[in-house]
Amino acid sequence: MASVPSLASTVQQRLAEALSAALPEAGSADPLLRRSDRADFQANGILALAKKAKGNPRELATLVVAAIPANDVLKEIEVSGPGFLNITVTDRAIVDTLAARAADDRLGVPYNPDAGTTVIDYAQPNVAKEMHVGHLRSAVIGAAMVEILEFTGEKVIRRHHIGDWGTQFGMLIQYLIEHPHELDHKEGEEVSGEEAMSSLNRLYKASRALFDSDEEFKARSRDRVVALQSGDKETLALWQRFVDESKIYFYSVFDQLDMEIRDPDVVGESAYNAMLDETCRLLEESGVAVISDGALCVFFDDIKGPDGNPTPLIVRKSNGGYGYAATDLSAVRDRVGNLGADTLLYVVDARQSLHFKMVWETARRAGWLNDKVKAVQLAFGTVLGADGKPFKTREGETVRLVDLLQQAVERATAVVRDKDEERGQLTEAEIVEHGRQVGIGAIKYADLSTSAVRDYKFDLEQMVSLHGDTSVYLQYAYVRIRSIMRNAGDAKPAAHPELELAPAERALGLHLDRFAETVAEVAESYEPHKLAAYLYQLASHLTKFYDQCQVLSASNPPEVVENRLFLIDLTARTLHQGMALLGIRTPERL
């Protein structure tokens, strides 16, 4: 597929040509084109170039303008300030470019089949534990990054690094041995995610209580850990039951989140067990890790604890047990060595940043990471309650994810029902389905619309508000266009480059032109909130457009109707595509 150049890149190209005509010694210098409020674009590059050539910037700017041949893209170029160019493009150029974009299924977003391979680590809950809002963030942000990266051509390998290993399994398994029917399912009965979690919870609490009160049980649990680690068949089979039961729960949550998680991509901590010994041996042999107080440790000059002593990365504990770090180091080896990753992307809580810093530095020293491989943490902040404190229930317990999702869907369904009250267009089934799409969309959008590293307040009321920067606002923008399309009768969208555009049409058109570059930027910087911001601005431009331009007015000449239908249709497709990249549905009616 030939890629569709944006208007910005066309203008950039024209200016670069004029620049090298006016100042041949500058070669292929960058005119530094930016979007601007004063005109459509602004070129800032001339100043520095003139200085370098020891010339007068305003003079050079004037020369550049004179070097631009007659054309139908640039309408007006004004030299301003010390040597900036303010550029206004023709209405024709806007509509022509958008028409090319509209003719492309991908809306002009380039696809690079030779892009690299990213292994993305996201949606990593822990076995036998309830999922919390942190797991939600990782899942939502990670899933959006998967879509965005794949859309640009990147090969993406998903890894759900679930917490499925550790000493707590000794106690759980031992308890199950002593209470063998606790995880049994009734013949032929399907267990819901909720039921699975509630039996796991019950088992967790009961075994914990026993572990804390009964020394003999504690001892048996410890022996069980040893049996598990040495690969005892019976113990492993019981461990597997916890994993399977947890997966019923995880999948049900991901399903509610309208998110596809595939079983082969669930490669938890346990998957690296067979590598741990070797990982340690290699580190020790190469001297990257040393034994300190019986533990295998890696030290860093710049990482110290509050007491001023160096804080090491502990790869193997003094009792011989492997921890989180050994697993993550082995995962790096696997992902780079076996999966061929050139980017490792971790969508993990910012509070684990130090851990990753140490793991990557260790991997670099060991040669498992090199300059050709990029390791990045897409770190996210803490979810806060309305009171600005870490999100807890009134009783001080962690908020259950499923309760949150349910509340969001309930609120959203009420909003949808309310809005439909006077029109009565929707059936009950539609209200329920759309309520889900709006509620889940609201949760995702709230997560995706603020910069990930920032903590954010979880405020359901605000999330499902019809006004402001919410997914519902975007969904309504889409619905409104679809409704106009249905009411358009015989009028079909068609681009009319010969027409003069109203200011609101131009603004909308110029913003549409930015879609491809926004997607590229987001894929590059791992900042999905910039796509959310783009879509919100798009919807805002659309609102202004409606205020100022009637689409299906009888007094409009037919070509104006067609051109406006064309503009809003492309807007709808852009909204739809952009929201899909964020994992948010766009219902046809609301």
Shortest Å, Cβ 166 to ligand ARG: 10
Nearer to ligand ARG, 18 or 283 (CB): 283
Nearer to ligand ARG, 161 or 247 (CB): 161
DSSP string, 59-112: HHHHHHHHTSPS-SSEEEEEEETTTEEEEEE-HHHHHHHHHHHHTSTTTT----
**CB proximity list for 48: less than 8 A, separation 6 or greater:** none
Say whether residue 170 binds ligand ARG (CB under 6 A).
no
Whole-number Cα distances in Å, 223 to 15, 230, 512: 74, 11, 63
Say whether residue 270 binds ligand ARG (CB under 6 A).
no
Q: Which of the ranges 26-34, 120-128, 378-386, 411-419 carries the binding residues for ligand ARG, by CB under 6 A? A: 120-128
Nearer to ligand ARG, 328 or 447 (CB): 328
Q: Which residue has the tokens 């305003």?
A: 58
Q: Which of the ranges 38-46, 121-129, 371-379, 575-583 carries the binding residues for ligand ARG, by CB under 6 A? A: 121-129
Say whether residue 11 binds ligand ARG (CB under 6 A).
no
Shortest Å, Cβ 269 to ligand ARG: 8
Nearer to ligand ARG, 344 or 523 (CB): 344
> Judged by CB under 6 A, which of 45, 163, 170, 578 binds ligand ARG?
163
Residues in contact with ligand ARG, counted by CB under 6 A, come to a total of 9
- The answer to whether residues 202 and 242 touch, using CB atoms and an 8 Å cutoff, is no
Say whether residue 348 binds ligand ARG (CB under 6 A).
yes
Say whether residue 142 binds ligand ARG (CB under 6 A).
no
Structure tokens at 366: 């060991």
Say whether residue 168 binds ligand ARG (CB under 6 A).
no
Q: Element (H or E) spanning 344, and its range?
A: strand 343-349
- The answer to whether residues 249 and 257 touch, using CB atoms and an 8 Å cutoff, is no
> Judged by CB under 6 A, which of 90, 126, 450, 518 binds ligand ARG?
126
Say whether residue 161 binds ligand ARG (CB under 6 A).
yes
Say whether residue 279 binds ligand ARG (CB under 6 A).
no
> Judged by CB under 6 A, which of 40, 91, 121, 505 binds ligand ARG?
121
- From the DSSP assignment, how many helices (H) and strands (E) are in the chain? 20, 13
| Nearest by Cα to 124 from 159, 97, 152 | 159
Distance CA 576, CA 429 (A): 22
Q: Which of the ranges 101-109, 119-127, 216-224, 382-390 carries the binding residues for ligand ARG, by CB under 6 A? A: 119-127
Q: Left, alpha or beta for 311 (phi > 0: left; psi -120 to 50: alpha)?
A: beta
> Judged by CB under 6 A, which of 10, 90, 118, 124 binds ligand ARG?
124
Nearer to ligand ARG, 369 or 560 (CB): 369
Rounded to 5 degrees, φ, ψ at 455 are -70, 150
Say whether residue 431 binds ligand ARG (CB under 6 A).
no
Nearer to ligand ARG, 67 or 350 (CB): 350
- The answer to whether residues 174 and 207 touch, using CB atoms and an 8 Å cutoff, is yes
Report how far apart the first and last C-alpha atoms of the chain are (Å, whole number). 35
Distance CA 427, CA 430 (A): 5
Distance CA 385, CA 458 (A): 5
Shortest Å, Cβ 121 to ligand ARG: 5
Q: Which of the ranges 118-126, 444-452, 489-497, 526-534 carries the binding residues for ligand ARG, by CB under 6 A? A: 118-126
x/- map, 292-331, ligand ARG, by CB under 6 A = ------------------------------------x--x
Say whether residue 137 binds ligand ARG (CB under 6 A).
no
Beta strand 456-457 pairing with 383-384: parallel
Residue ranges binding ligand ARG (CB under 6 A): 121, 124, 126, 161, 163, 328, 331, 346, 348
